[in-house]
Amino acid sequence: MRTPRHPLRLAAIVAWSVAAASLAAPPDAPAKPAPVPKEEQRFVRYPDAPARAHGTITVNGRSIHYTATAGVLTLTDNKAKPTANIFYTAYRRTLEPHADFEKRLAAWKEAGAEGPEPINFPDPAERPITFSFNGGPGSSSVWLHLGIFGPRRVDYVDDKGNPGPPPYGVVDNEHTLLDASDFVFIDPVSTGYSRAEDGADEKDFHGVESDIASVAEFIRRFLTSEQRWRSPRFVAGESYGTTRACGLAQRLHDQHGIALNGVILVSAAMQFGTIRFDSGNDLPYVLFLPTYAATAHYHGLLPPDQQARPLPEFLAEVERFALTEYAAALAQGSYLNEAEAQRIVDRLASYTGLSPDFLRRARLRVEIQRYAKEALRTRGLTVGRFDSRFTGMDRDEAGERPDFDPSYAVIRANYTESFNAYIREELGFTSDLPYEILTNVSPWSYSPAGNNRYLDVAERLRAAMHQQPHLKVLLASGYYDLATPHFAADYVMSHMGLAPDLLSNITTRYYEAGHMMYLHRDSRAKLKADLDAFYAQAVQDARDGRAPAR
């Protein structure tokens, strides 16, 4: 029997009916309450079958018809024992509206089913498929799904990305990438609706290697079940999702024989030594400096001459200073002489808006939380980690770190409410499980790759690109991202030892927004255009068979 969508509501109706019948019964013949069937009482984890819906979205003046599927794919061990249920939402472009296709199919059947059966999907060999996920670790795929890639997105009240007051919902996404590729949004184990099977330990999936392995197995299974082995294939990750994407580029090829056409890295985290502020590690101070400068520029904290300069031009100067004079000063440690230290302090103050006194007391080293608290302290505000354009108010103006990240607080409810309404009301998927937008998956295992060292997956991307010289990479970074700064991503790309002939396979783009640059309307439109060009080139090269000569 199919599980009712609302077992608790049905149980309440049954109970009310029984009570009414009891009141109407004669005193000498009291009615006995009928037991509620067990199948109507149970907690519903997943529906019996995937939910499907159909839609049409207008993109660049063209109507894009699609089928949306929300379902669960069960992973198994080498003895075919179920280990985990991976929730996904998939979008596949169709040739015509579903209703029109159903009429055409019915006519074909009425005519005696003569000739080939009508189909409503483009040739898989001509239609790219992209597997997308976010990061955390512990994040669901909702951000890229309802932020930029999917046909529906969360709504905002301004171009900056503010959601306004609740309740929240979705609107048509004119910047969807569905015209360029089909999409499969994957929620790794413990995120979204994905869970380990009863008897399995979720911790077995909470680690760098096990996470990559489970998502790779999902991709292999999906390609098989949906007959997409001939399609051009892409993976797209954001934040820690880029860590996963780099690992997948190698594992899919080496373990499963699956080559990729492209890897999309949004707000990349590939070498953790570039973003972890630890004692003795000066590299993050150098690589975060341009983002501090961009933040100061946005909030008007700079001297008039610096404030008047275009942001890219200004940041180019800051980046040169960071890699040369600033890095050299930090390398000298306590042996830096007073005159040189003062010169560096003055330059830092002119770039960051921080006071010379604060910079001296910090010994030229300002980690992210201190900067987020200090930058606008005199205004009684803090700046966001994910997006430093957003500001927050702490309990007081003292302290070393913000009470919360205002750039996350401003969007969490919007995405959470919008997804829960969308998945039920528009796609028809029901579950009593909470949809885990961002959940705690600690302790996250970094072994063996991160044992006694910083995790580095850039080497895996390099290896994948050397083995697959056709593989294209797009790196998208926001200037106001204080979680994974653009300069850190650039540094890693330039240091991963890629063969010179393959450097042209990497496309780097910047946006005047933060970690989720698609919150910002202009950046969302630019990211759409950049991705359209990236897909077109990668797919054309696949058709032409072009790759650098070996």
Q: Specify if 299 maps to a domain.
A: yes
Q: What percent of the chain has pLDDT over 90?
A: 81
Domain range for 20: 7-40
Domain boundary among 404, 429, 453: 404
**Could you write out the three-class secondary structure of 403-428?**
CCCHHHHHHHHHHHHHHHHHHHHCCC
Q: Specify if 550 maps to a domain.
A: no
Mean pLDDT of 61-70: 96
User: At 35, is the pLDDT very low, low, confident or very high (cuts 50, 70, 90)?
Assistant: low
Same domain, 245 and 107: yes
Same domain, 111 and 154: yes
Lowest mean pLDDT among 1-15, 244-258, 517-531: 1-15
Is the pLDDT confidence value at 353 over 60? yes
Same domain, 114 and 245: yes
Q: H or E stretch including 364?
A: none
Same domain, 178 and 85: yes
Predicted confidence (pLDDT) per residue in 124-148, tens digit: 999 999 999 999 999 999 999 999 9
Same domain, 373 and 452: no
User: At 220, is the pLDDT very low, low, confident or very high (cuts 50, 70, 90)?
Assistant: very high
Q: Specify if 123 maps to a domain.
A: yes
Same domain, 373 and 266: no
Q: Which of 180, 232, 177 is nearest to 527 (CA)?
A: 177
Same domain, 340 and 373: yes
Domain boundary among 354, 372, 404: 404
Identify the CATH number of the domain in which residue 426 sits.
3.40.50.1820
Q: What percent of the chain has pLDDT over 70?
A: 91
Q: Specify if 46 maps to a domain.
A: no
And the tokens for 44?
Answer: 């519903």
User: At 494, is the pLDDT very low, low, confident or very high (cuts 50, 70, 90)?
Assistant: very high
Helix axes 208-225, 240-256, angle to 10 degrees: 60
Same domain, 297 and 267: no
Q: How many domains does one find in the chain?
A: 3
Same domain, 508 and 370: no
Same domain, 204 and 115: yes
pLDDT for the residue numbered 16: 38
233: left (phi over 0), alpha (psi -120 to 50) or beta: beta
Predicted confidence (pLDDT) per residue in 395-432, tens digit: 999 999 999 999 999 999 999 999 999 999 999 999 99
- Read off the pTM: 0.90
Instruction: Give the chain's mean pLDDT.
Output: 91
Same domain, 95 and 211: yes
Same domain, 247 and 180: yes
Is the pLDDT confidence value at 1 over 50? no
Mean pLDDT of 189-218: 93
